[in-house]
Structure 1
């Protein structure tokens, strides 16, 4: 008897792709001067600060301002050349948000909002010099609204919200005699309100909405919630005393949804919202 051995060779082709590390914006032949911003607002870098860093004699057209891998526009007190004594750079800066956190989650949908960072509210800004560039600057232009032929806009769409930071919710857990939480950035892991219990609804009011009620487009109410215990439950949402949502959200499941609402519901300019936990388990959260 002969034993026949068949050798099968499988050739697999792999497509090469560049890994994203979020540092692709850095030019390693440039020096970057870092400063931190904790609050959103208009900021001014005076000539004296640039001089102290050793770059006070750099023409403004060669300066670059960066944050989170994107160039930030700034307004120099002179359009070109070196800042004079008393000169400055002005720019709009924002505190750190959660946009860069999304890649940390097991699934992107687990991040309900990117308004607040899980890690820090302080943003890092970088000023650099690029003599081959022209910067990213605001410039003075003539703006004469009386000469415009554009029609007058009757309204604009605006989003206002409440982004709770009462506690850092630990997220999904397995209950094995005790709560063992996922080591990943998992479902329910985000800044949140305090727990909502069957006996303790969450009430919150948004005021000063300045609603344009005459022919305005559809309004929407968006919210996210997550269960924090291994219990069955439904949750209810009321807006200005009208029920707009009543849905099942058992165990550690979550919901992140947008609901169309009549604009007439918020015509008063105030949106008073109530979230209720309708679980039969009194200790549920």
Structure 2
């Protein structure tokens, strides 16, 4: 089967995907051009990445920090600022966003009604999205852009139908997209092993050490087995032992899974073959819940 974002998903994304504070990533060379930065904050890149506000998940995922290259400074601005500066300065700043490969830049082919996009925001057949410009677009155009981004870049929606054996607490989170950023694969697994008692965990961005601590507290241990049983946790590790992905086995060759920590990565059921296609080059480790005899 194939899933698509719901109307509720799209409504939440339209409101929250575009940060309310504009960020512009620039080189040292551009910083020293004749641009008036008196109404903004100019942060050296090393300070920016450790900033308590701008290291939050909404900024990180929307601007896709992990892709950004060759920048020295970040301009932090009110969303109306870019509309108020001279056209040539605006052009240079927006063009720089394409060159540094940050997020919130999409091909013109992703937008059906390209005439609605202000020409200042189109560079090298790419459209630079910023908050004020986004707010000016028609609602249907925003929906269309987001749906295209999801299907073309993030997830094609392919998944398995929920079987009768699906645990009750996983049903509300099976084959759906999230409204908010941050929920990752490790959080999905920890929620799954909680039997629904800790629903809030599924919305967290869980790191490896926290994940392993929780597995240990829940009496999960690594087992030397190639055969999976219902309730097992399967993890894929790289050459240095870092967990790159994990999923929860519900039985019948199916896993409860989430690829990535963005709103565009749904919780969904995948067959073992689909996971092996994605992660099969890595080392597989099985964690299994142990039942200990506490009687004397």
* TM-score using structure 2 length: 0.23
For normalisation by structure 1, the TM-score amounts to: 0.23
Greater share of strand: 1
Larger radius of gyration: 1
